[in-house]
Amino acid sequence: MKLTLLIAIIGISSAYGYLADEDYGAEFLALAKLTHKKCVPITGVTQELIDAMKNGNFPDNEILKRYTLCLWLVAEAMTTDFNINTKMVEKSMPKKIVNGKELLQSCGKQAQKSGLTTPHETVYEVMKCFYKADPEHFIMF
């Protein structure tokens, strides 16, 4: 019962990007709650930083970048060799996000070509790319 994203993509706060709870499904919501609960104490991220990212503000903040990586790894949306787990993404992606898998793959390729060398920087670039391409369906928790 685990995800990937992009997110690439993500307690659960008051909002998850712009989708309503019913758009996610029970499995995704349970996974989001679990990953958030595990990754907040590991990274020390603040809700203020998470909320900023939800609203399309991507500060150059090491803690937020590491939180984002933590979400992806704990949710198993990313493999241990830092590739997007497309099977998990397909299984968990909310139905409203029609092109989510393709978008994440495209953003992943762009991030890999960007020359970034650390996993947390790369995942953060994937998230920024996803938001830029489809802010209406951006997922962050």
Q: Indicate if the pLDDT at residue 85 is higher than 70.
A: yes
- List, for residues 89-126, the tens digit of each pLDDT value: 777 777 777 787 788 888 888 888 888 889 999 999 99
Using alpha carbons, select from 101, 102, 82 the residue that is nearest to residue 92: 101
% helix, strand, coil for the chain, step of 5: 55, 5, 40
pLDDT of residue 43: 97
pLDDT of residue 1: 31
**Global confidence as pTM:** 0.80
* Confidence grade of residue 134 (pLDDT, cut at 50, 70, 90): confident
Torsion angle of C-alpha atoms 48, 92, 18, 9, degrees rounded to 10: 40
Dist. CA 137–CA 97, nearest whole Å: 6
Q: Which domains does the chain have, with CATH numbers?
A: 21-137 (1.10.238.20)
pLDDT of residue 7: 33
- For residue 38, report the phi and psi dihedrals to the nearest 5 degrees: -80, -40
Higher-scoring residue by pLDDT: 3, 139: 139
For residue 108, which amino acid is it? G
Contact 21, 29 (CB under 8 A): yes
